[in-house]
Amino acid sequence: MLKKALCLTLTTLAVASCSSNQLKDQTVEEKKAEVYYGRGTEDLISKNYAQALTYLTQARDLNPKDSQIRNNLGMAYYFREQPVLAENELKEAISLDPKNSDARINLGSLYMEKNRLKEAREQFERVEKDLTFNNQFRNYYNLGILSLKEGDRRSAFEYLAKSVKEREDYCAAHYKLGEMYAEEYRFSQALEAFKNAGKGTCVKEPAPYYQQALTLINLNKPAEAKRKLIEITDKFPSTRFSSMAVAQLRKLESMPEGQSSTRASQTEVIKESRAVETPNF
State which fold the 171-270 domain adopts. 1.25.40
Q: What is the pLDDT of residue 136?
A: 97
Q: What is the pLDDT of residue 179?
A: 98
Say whether 171-270 and 2-142 share the same fold.
yes
Any idea what DSSP says for residue 202? G
Residues of the chain with pLDDT below 70 are 1-24, 257-281
Q: What is the pLDDT of residue 26?
A: 84
Q: How far is CA 269 from the centre of its chain?
A: 22
In whole angstroms, give the CA distance from residue 145 to residue 46: 26
For the entire predicted model, the pTM comes to: 0.84
Q: What is the pLDDT of residue 262?
A: 52
In whole angstroms, give the CA distance from residue 12 to residue 75: 12
In whole angstroms, give the CA distance from residue 193 to residue 212: 9
In whole angstroms, give the CA distance from residue 151 to residue 63: 43
Would you say 135 and 9 are in contact if contact means Cβ atoms under 8 Å apart?
yes
Kindly indicate whether the domain formed by 2-142 is annotated with CATH number 1.25.40.10: yes
**Residues 6+ positions from 192 with CB-CB distance below 8 Å:** none
Least Cα distance to 278 among 138, 124, 92 occurs for 138
In whole angstroms, give the CA distance from residue 150 to residue 145: 9
Q: What is the pLDDT of residue 275?
A: 38
CA distances from 281 to 149, 169, 172 (A): 23, 14, 12
Any idea what DSSP says for residue 135? T
In the chain, where are the structural domains located?
Answer: 2-142, 171-270
Residue type, 95: S
